[in-house]
Amino acid sequence: MQMEGGSGIDSFFFRGLHPLISIGTASDRYAGWLGQIYSEGRYEGRISSRKKKFGSAYYTEKVLPVESVEEYFEHFKVLELDFTFYSPLLDMDGNPTRTWHVLNSYAGHMREGNRVILKVPQAVFARSFRRGKGQVENEHYLDSEMFIRQFYEPACLLFDRRIEAFVFEQEYQRASLRPLPEAFARELGRFFEKIPQDNRYHVEIRTQALLSAPVVKTLKDHGIGYVLSHWTWLPSLKSQYRLMGDVLFNRSGSSVMRLMTPRGMRYEDAYKKAHPFDRLVHGMLSSEMINETVDIMKDAFENNAGINVVINNRSGGNAPLIAREIASRFLDITGAA
């Protein structure tokens, strides 16, 4: 099956898969994708390094310059920029943060038809933060003014209609810290009543006990989509689909599915296995995840609804190769193009 420009999925071109189906990745600029998404030699002398530490072990990531996003969008229609999760775009005094400057650099390389998914800062949507071995309550939890002034408004100014989705991700909550589902649903309702009405909101809930009828009703009342997430402690995509299918799509008929980590595997372990993100890791990629992703894509396709599938390296080792597997299976069972 041929994609746009006469190139196919074997060469990692996914833009022409189907008008309503968008496959993208969680972050970009990985040097491990050279020879797949990025051209060998094109960024020579401009690849930087950054380090991550887990326990006593250090891992080095090789990172391409921001301009490589132009080549990324030759292959994908959508990109999740997840670094916005860690900081608002403006500080309390209204000054641009480092995150704003990085996002502004991305905006300068965007073209017509390119779309981004932005993660809302955890400072807005996290009930608590991990500090050392414990949890610290977030004093700005569900702070509508912080969301509007320090993130939503500057994000819209930078990207305008190129924003495909805003993802509100909430951390896993232990039983001793989380509210009852009814109370959580009321919290969400009050928050979404105070912020601008927008057809691009999607909520990711990482606590199975909160995937409930009261939450479904609140999301449906406000036209907000539920993010299907393949993540450590959540049930399978199929199980989530059964529980939350009524709000998979938001008011605009769009949905987001995020393939983050293998189920039962912690972030740190998934990172260590996947690094340096240049290949599939034997025994890491779940056939169940692939099959259920494709089945849900097929349902969206048959119902003429839009779906954005976001793939993280940590779900199997190398996001472009996982994307190719998913796209191939989707075409096999639908014949879509």
* Distance separating alpha carbons of residues 304 and 126, to the nearest angstrom: 33
Residue with token string 């900081």: 87
Q: Is the pTM of this model over 0.75?
A: yes
* Distance separating alpha carbons of residues 130 and 37, to the nearest angstrom: 35
* Distance separating alpha carbons of residues 193 and 142, to the nearest angstrom: 11
Pairing of strands 48-54, 21-26: unpaired
Range of the domain at 263: 4-334
User: Do residues 336 and 21 make contact, with C-beta atoms less than 8 angstroms apart?
Assistant: yes
* Distance separating alpha carbons of residues 163 and 277, to the nearest angstrom: 26
Mean local confidence (pLDDT), 117-128: 97
User: Do residues 226 and 205 make contact, with C-beta atoms less than 8 angstroms apart?
Assistant: yes
Number of compact structural domains in the chain: 1
The pair of three-digit structure tokens given for residue 318, joined into one six-digit string: 């190398």
* pLDDT grade for 216, boundaries at 50, 70 and 90: very high
CATH at 301: 3.20.20.410
* Distance separating alpha carbons of residues 226 and 292, to the nearest angstrom: 16
* Distance separating alpha carbons of residues 102 and 98, to the nearest angstrom: 6
* pLDDT grade for 1, boundaries at 50, 70 and 90: very low
Pairing of strands 78-81, 134-137: unpaired
Mean local confidence (pLDDT), 135-145: 94
* pLDDT grade for 55, boundaries at 50, 70 and 90: confident
The pair of three-digit structure tokens given for residue 313, joined into one six-digit string: 């390296």
Mean local confidence (pLDDT), 80-107: 97
**270-328 pLDDT tens trace:** 999 999 999 999 999 999 999 999 999 999 999 999 999 999 999 999 999 999 999 99
